[in-house]
Chain A
Amino acid sequence: MRIYEVFLKADGKEEFRHAGSIEAPTDELALVLARENYTRRAEGTHMWVVDRENICVSEEGFIDANLNKSHRHNDGERVAEWRKSQRNKKSNG
C-alpha cells in the first residue's frame, strides 16, 4: 500500500489545497478512495492525488525568510515621508 496526498480545488479562483491523505495500492484506486473520503459533498471540482514518495521536500533552512534581502521588500517609507512633509508644508503654510 502507498500513501497518497490529496489536493482539491474549488471551482473559480481558489488554488489547489491539501485536503489530507489516503492509503491506496494504485493511482487509480487512490483516485476512487480519495473521492469517497474527501468529496462526498461537493468539496471541489478538481482533484490531484500524489504518491507521497513523489513529493520533493525542501531541506531545513532552504526557504528561510531571507531577512538579509531587504531590497526585495520596498516598504515605501521614503515616499511616505516625502508625502508627509508635503502635507505638513501645506497645513503650516
Chain B
Amino acid sequence: MKRSWASLEEFQKFLDHGGIVEPVDDMPREYRQTVFDFIEMHANSELMGGLTERDWIPKAPGLRHKMSVIAKTQDEIGHAHLLYMVAADLKIKTREEMMQDLFAGKSKFHNVFHYRAKTWGDQVAIAFLVDAAALVSQQAVFKNCSYGPYKRILKRIIAEEGFHLRFGEESVLRIAEGTEVQRNMFQDSINDWWWPALQLFGPDSKPNDLLLRWHIKSERNEILRDRWIQKFVPLLQGYGFTIPDSGLRRNEEKDRWEIGPIDWKPLKQTMIMGGPDSARRISEASDSWEKTGWVREALEKVSA
C-alpha cells in the first residue's frame, strides 16, 4: 500500500505513533534524503571496514585467526552489499554513483576508518572497541527505526556483529594472557584507538537532530557513548590494561565512570577527509574497485 501525507506535521504524527515507512510510500523529500544519507554512510563504513579487515588476512597470526578474519571480511563486505541495496531503493543515487562519490571523497564514512591499523594489536582493538561501538549505535537504531527496510536489514547485521565482538574479546583475552611484548603492543593500540572509537558516536546530539525527530535513531549520541564507556572501562581494566585518559575517574556515589574532556578536532578532520589515513584509505578502496572491475564486466556480459 502506497501512503502519502498531507503535510510534514502529519508525517511527524505518523512517526511519533510508531509508524514504519516503506520504500513505496510517498515520504517527504527531506525524510528520504536524511534516511538515505544515514544509510549511505553506514554502507560506506562497512565497505571501508571490510577492506581494512581484508588487509589482515595474510598477516593474522595463525590459521585460526586467519579464518576468523576471512569470515569477518566476508561479513563486512556483505553488510555493505545489503546496505547499498537498501540505499539504492531510495532512488537518490545508484550503487555506481555511491561508489564514485566515496572514491571522490564526497561522501562520508566512520571516523575510525580514517586511521591506519599498524599492528595486529590495532586490528584487535578495532574488533573489540570499534565493532562494539558500531554495535551499540546500530542496536539503538534498530530498536525503533522508522524506515522499514533499514530496520529489517539491521537485524541481520547486528547478529553478525555479535560474532565480531566475541572474536574481538577472545583475541583480547589471548593477548592479555600472552607475553609482556604482546601486552605492551596492545596497550599501545588502546592508546591509539580509545579516543577514535569513543568519537565514533559523534558529539552530543543537537536538540533539533532530524535523525532523532524522525525516529531514524532512537537514542542521543551522548547516551550511547556513555553506555559504551561504562562497559569498556572496566572490561579493559579487568584484562589489565589502562585507559589513555588522565581525566578518567570513578564516581563512587553515582556508581559510574566519568571521563575527561573530549578533543573533537580529530573527528572534525576525518569529516573533511583530512584524517591521518583518509587519503590512502580512499585510494586503496578505489584501487580495489578497479581491480575487481573484471568481475562486474563478466556479470554484465552474462546479463546481456
Are both chains from one complex?
yes
Interface residues of A (CB under 8 A from B): 1-3, 18-26, 29, 36-38, 40-41, 43, 57-58, 60-61, 63-64
> B85 near A25 (CB under 8 angstroms)?
no
> B303 near A36 (CB under 8 angstroms)?
no
> A1 near B303 (CB under 8 angstroms)?
yes
Given contacts A2-B303, A25-B300, A37-B82, contact A20 B1 (CB under 8 A): no
Say what secondary structure dominates the interface of chain B. Answer: helix
B181 CB within 8 Å of chain A: no
> B75 near A40 (CB under 8 angstroms)?
yes
> B85 near A60 (CB under 8 angstroms)?
no
Shortest distance from the beta carbon of B179 to any chain A beta carbon, whole Å: 34
> A40 near B78 (CB under 8 angstroms)?
yes
Residues of B in contact with A, size category: 20 to 34
Given contacts A37-B78, A37-B82, A60-B2, contact A25 B299 (CB under 8 A): yes
Shortest distance from the beta carbon of B112 to any chain A beta carbon, whole Å: 24
Query: In the assembly, what is the distance between CA of A60 and CA of B3, in Å?
Result: 8
Shortest distance from the beta carbon of B227 to any chain A beta carbon, whole Å: 27
Query: In the assembly, what is the distance between CA of A29 and CA of B298, in Å?
Result: 12
Question: For residue B299, which residue of chain A has the nearest CB?
Answer: A25
Given contacts A26-B302, A60-B1, contact A20 B74 (CB under 8 A): no
Interface residues of B (CB under 8 A from A): 1-2, 24, 71, 74-75, 78, 81-82, 85-86, 89, 95, 149, 152-153, 156, 160, 299-300, 302-303
User: With a CB–CB cut-off of 8 A, which chain A residues contact B24?
Assistant: 57
* 16 more A-B residue pairs beyond the given contacts A24-B299, A36-B78, with a C-beta to C-beta distance below 8 A: A1-B303, A3-B85, A18-B152, A20-B86, A20-B153, A20-B156, A21-B89, A22-B81, A29-B302, A37-B78, A37-B81, A38-B156, A40-B71, A40-B74, A60-B1, A64-B1
Question: For residue A17, which residue of chain B has the nearest CB?
Answer: B152
User: With a CB–CB cut-off of 8 A, which chain B residues contact A1?
Assistant: 299-300, 303
- Choose from A19, A21, A26, A61 the contact partner of B303 (Cβ within 8 Å): A26
User: With a CB–CB cut-off of 8 A, which chain A residues contact B1?
Assistant: 58, 60-61, 63-64
> B95 near A25 (CB under 8 angstroms)?
no
Question: For residue A38, which residue of chain B has the nearest CB?
Answer: B156
